[in-house]
Structure formats: C-alpha cells, structure tokens
C-alpha cells in the first residue's frame, strides 16, 4: 500500500460562526503505480482532501501514511508529494520554463537532465512555444498546463492533480489526458486526480472514489461503479444521460410503479424485498429497448445526435430517457411499447438510497 488515509476528517471554522465539516471519516488506500480519481460535485471535499495529503491544510482528525511513513504532521516539503493546484499557483516573476524546472536541481537532478525533463513535459502538454513567457501574459489554459507540467516534472512518492485540465477545450483535453496517463504509467507514478468530469475519471483512473458532502460514497474500478453502484447517488451521478430512476412499490408479482396506471411489472429472477417495500427502480438509458416490452410510453422528443438517438418518454407522470445507437423511427406524440431485460434492473431502498439488487444479484 503506497497511500493510506485513515479516518481522515477536515473541519473548517465557519465564515459566520459554527463550523464546516468538509471531509468526514475518509478511509482510502492506493497501491503504488495506481491512478485514483476523486470525483464529486462542487464543494464535496475533493480539494480539502488533496491539500491535507500535500500538507497545505492541517488534518482535523485521522492519519495519512505514504510509502510507509506517517506524514500528516510533516511540513509539505518533507512529504515527497508533488501537486498541481486548482488555482495553478505559478511563481509570477519566473518564466514558464523556470516555473516547470523549479526545484528540480535541488531535488538531485543534474542541469541537463532537469532541462530535458522540462522540454519533455512542455512538449507533451503543448506549451513549448510559451516557455520563455511569464504567467501574467498567458491564458488560464496555458497557466494550467504549466502548473501540471511543473507537478509532473518532479519525482515524488505521490502526484496530486487538482482539476488539472479543467480550463482546456474538450478536444485538447481528451488528447492530453491520454498522454498524461501514459506518462504516469510509463514512469510508474502514483497519482490522485481530482475532477468533476466523469469521462476524465473513467478514461484515466484505475479506481474512482465518489464523494458527496464530505463522505466517500463508493471506491472501486470504473466498471464496478457503473455496473454495481452502491447507492442511488452514485448510480445517478455516473453515466450520461443519467440512470432513469422510478419510485416503485414491491408487489408479490413484481413491481408497481408509483403513480403509473400500468400492470405490475414482473422482473423474474431479480431478488425482491418484501411486498409493500418502497424502492427506486433504476435502468440505464441504453438498456431501455424501444418497440417491444411490458411498458407503454408517450414520445416527448426524439433527437439524433450524430452517433446516437436520445428518445424521451413519458410514463404517466414519469419521464425516462432511452439511448439507441441507431436512428429510431418514432414520432413525437406517439405511444410506443418499451421495456428492459430484468438483468438490467437496479433496485435501491427508497429511504436510504442503498442498492438492494443489480439484475439477478442481491447487492
């Protein structure tokens, strides 16, 4: 285990008295060479977690072990951690080249090797032409790449990257994330990537930690989070468009969808809670089949996005989205049959949101 966070918590004094608990009892481990994405909505505690690991924010409770050393009380320069900051934190009087190379020499690299490292990072992130410029004359996206280059140029036990590509346009971002991942992997580096972009997390991370309101919701490989979300929050946060979620009541013969005047929906093979239990049924948009099935919905819209169709359906007062990877010949206003295989049903407890079943398997 390279990094272990044990019961890590962060409480800030509130701006109007009281206190804000930004991170609550966070437990997380990482192996050497792993890339982990911290994913969650704004204010969920991602930056606070990174800053505690880097040592720029004190730990309110809990411990941090990195490469076998307890580090939570060490000063930042003694933690052997490199960080790309959300706000870039470049040194204004230095050129971009000097910013990227800052401290490389004092960390044991000879001059030629340090210069080579700076050039390599600049080329990878396409900022070669601005190496002689100073931060003040550059765009946000250029400063952000300089900050990322500075972090990646360093040798460290852990690289912390806080929204490192958030300012870049989507095309450049998708090219650079591939290169950054390859660079991390080829050097065997361990990295925590903070992002609220699920595509970036899926593309780059070996494991994803989903946080909400300072609490870790689930930690696992992208496929596990997608196929076996631990709760409704993770289920609806990951996936685009989000998972369809329908309130339902368990019936001896299957599920009754609340407020929908339809027969009971049979889901053979799916483990059901006791009859009468209030649940939420989740089905991913690309798992809905249009044209056949036990349900009937009215088409609200049918949009072709160039490589996929998004069809919005009304099922009584409920709205669902179906995604198909071909054009779908349905007209707005038409009522069509649709359905899904029981294998693709997810059941969640209505009160706690906790997953109860994924297809035929109890959660």
Ligand X SMILES: Nc1ncnc2c1ncn2[C@@H]1O[C@H](COP(=O)(O)OP(=O)(O)OP(=O)(O)O)[C@@H](O)[C@H]1O
DSSP 19-32: EEEEEEEEEEEE-T
DSSP 163-232: STTTTS-HHHHHHHHHHHHHHHHHTT--EEEEES-HHHHHHH-SEEEEEETTEEEEEE-HHHHHHS-SBH
Query: By CB under 6 A, how many residues form the interface with ligand X?
Result: 13
Using CB under 6 A, which residues numbered 48 to 87 contact ligand X? 48, 86
144 binds Mg ion (CB under 5 A): no
- Pick one of 24, 46, 79, 287: the residue that binds ligand X (CB under 6 A): 46
207 binds ligand X (CB under 6 A): no
48 binds Mg ion (CB under 5 A): no
Pick one of ligand X, Mg ion, none as the site partner of residue 229 (Cβ within 5 to 8 A by kind). none
Q: Please, what is the minimum distance in Å from the beta carbon of residue 287 to ligand X?
A: 30
164 binds ligand X (CB under 6 A): no
277 binds ligand X (CB under 6 A): no
47 binds ligand X (CB under 6 A): yes
18 binds ligand X (CB under 6 A): no
Q: From 44-52, 95-103, 238-246, 313-321, give the range in contact with ligand X by CB under 6 A.
A: 44-52
Q: Please, what is the minimum distance in Å from the beta carbon of residue 237 to ligand X?
A: 13
282 binds ligand X (CB under 6 A): no
Query: By CB under 5 A, how many residues form the interface with Mg ion?
Result: 2
Alpha-carbon distances of 201 from 35, 50, 139, 193, 194, rounded to whole Å: 10, 16, 25, 8, 8
Which helix (H) or strand (E) segment is 113 a member of?
A: helix 111-124
Q: Please, what is the minimum distance in Å from the beta carbon of residue 41 to ligand X?
A: 7
- Pick one of 4, 6, 20, 60: the residue that binds ligand X (CB under 6 A): 20
CA atoms within 13 A on the CB side of 249: 10
Q: From 43-51, 120-128, 325-333, 350-358, give the range in contact with Mg ion by CB under 5 A.
A: 43-51
Residue nearer to Mg ion on the CB measure, 209 or 347: 209
Contacts of 120 (CB under 8 A, 6+ apart): none
198 binds ligand X (CB under 6 A): no
- Pick one of 12, 58, 113, 139: the residue that binds ligand X (CB under 6 A): 12
CB 153 within 8 A of CB 100: yes
42 binds ligand X (CB under 6 A): yes
Find the helix packing angle between 111-124 and 170-186, rounded to 10°.
140
DSSP 261: -
213 binds ligand X (CB under 6 A): no
193 binds ligand X (CB under 6 A): no
Tell me the residue ranges of DSSP E strands in the chain: 3-13, 19-30, 35-39, 61-66, 69-70, 81-84, 158-162, 191-195, 207-212, 215-220, 244-251, 254-257, 278-283, 289-304, 309-315, 318-324, 335-339, 346-349, 355-358, 361-362
**Rounded to 5°, angle at Cα 230 from 225 and 233:** 90
47 binds Mg ion (CB under 5 A): yes
Pick one of Mg ion, ligand X, none as the site partner of residue 24 (Cβ within 5 to 8 A by kind). none
CB 264 within 8 A of CB 325: no
- Pick one of 1, 31, 43, 361: the residue that binds ligand X (CB under 6 A): 43
302 binds Mg ion (CB under 5 A): no
Residue nearer to ligand X on the CB measure, 22 or 328: 22
Could you give the CA distance from residue 43 to residue 341 in angstroms, rounded to a whole number? 37
195 binds ligand X (CB under 6 A): no
Contacts of 69 (CB under 8 A, 6+ apart): none
Which residues here bind ligand X, judged by CB under 6 A? 12, 20, 22, 40, 42-48, 86, 196
Residues of this chain that bind Mg ion (CB under 5 A): 46-47
């Amino acid at each position: 285990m390279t990094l272990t966070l044990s019961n890590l918590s962060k409480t800030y004094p509130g701006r109007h008295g009281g206190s804000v608990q930004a991170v609550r009892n966070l437990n997380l481990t990482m192996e050497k060479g792993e890339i982990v994405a911290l994913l969650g909505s704004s204010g969920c505690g991602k930056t606070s977690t990174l800053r505690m690991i880097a040592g720029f924010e004190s730990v309110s409770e809990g411990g941090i072990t990195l490469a076998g050393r307890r580090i939570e009380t060490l000063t930042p320069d003694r933690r052997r951690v490199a960080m790309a900051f959300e706000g870039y934190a470049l040194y204004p009087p230095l050129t971009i080249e000097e910013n990227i190379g800052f401290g490389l020499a004092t960390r044991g690299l000879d001059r030629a090797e340090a210069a080579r490292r700076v050039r390599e990072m600049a080329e990878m992130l396409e900022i070669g032409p601005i190496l002689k410029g100073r931060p003040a004359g550059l765009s946000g996206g250029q400063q952000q790449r300089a900050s990322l280059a500075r972090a990646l140029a360093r040798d460290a036990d852990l690289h912390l990257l806080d929204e490192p590509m958030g300012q870049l346009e989507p095309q450049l971002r998708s090219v650079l994330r591939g290169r950054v991942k390859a660079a991390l992997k080829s050097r065997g580096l361990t990295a925590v990537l903070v992002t609220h972009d699920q595509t970036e997390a899926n593309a780059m991370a070996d494991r994803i930690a989903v946080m909400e309101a300072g609490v870790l919701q689930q930690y696992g490989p992208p496929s596990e989070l997608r196929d076996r979300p631990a709760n409704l929050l993770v289920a609806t946060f990951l996936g685009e468009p989000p998972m369809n979620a329908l309130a339902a009541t368990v019936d001896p013969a299957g599920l009754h969808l609340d407020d929908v005047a339809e027969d009971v929906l049979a889901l053979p093979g799916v483990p059901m809670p006791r009859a009468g239990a209030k649940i939420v049924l989740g089905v991913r948009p690309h798992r809905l089949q249009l044209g056949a099935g036990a349900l009937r919905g009215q088409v609200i819209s049918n949009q072709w996005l160039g490589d996929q169709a998004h069809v919005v359906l009304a099922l009584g007062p409920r709205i669902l989205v179906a995604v198909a990877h071909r054009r779908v010949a349905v007209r707005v206003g038409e009522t069509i049959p649709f359905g899904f295989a029981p294998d693709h049903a997810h059941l969640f407890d209505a009160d706690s949101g906790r997953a109860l079943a994924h297809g035929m398997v109890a959660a």
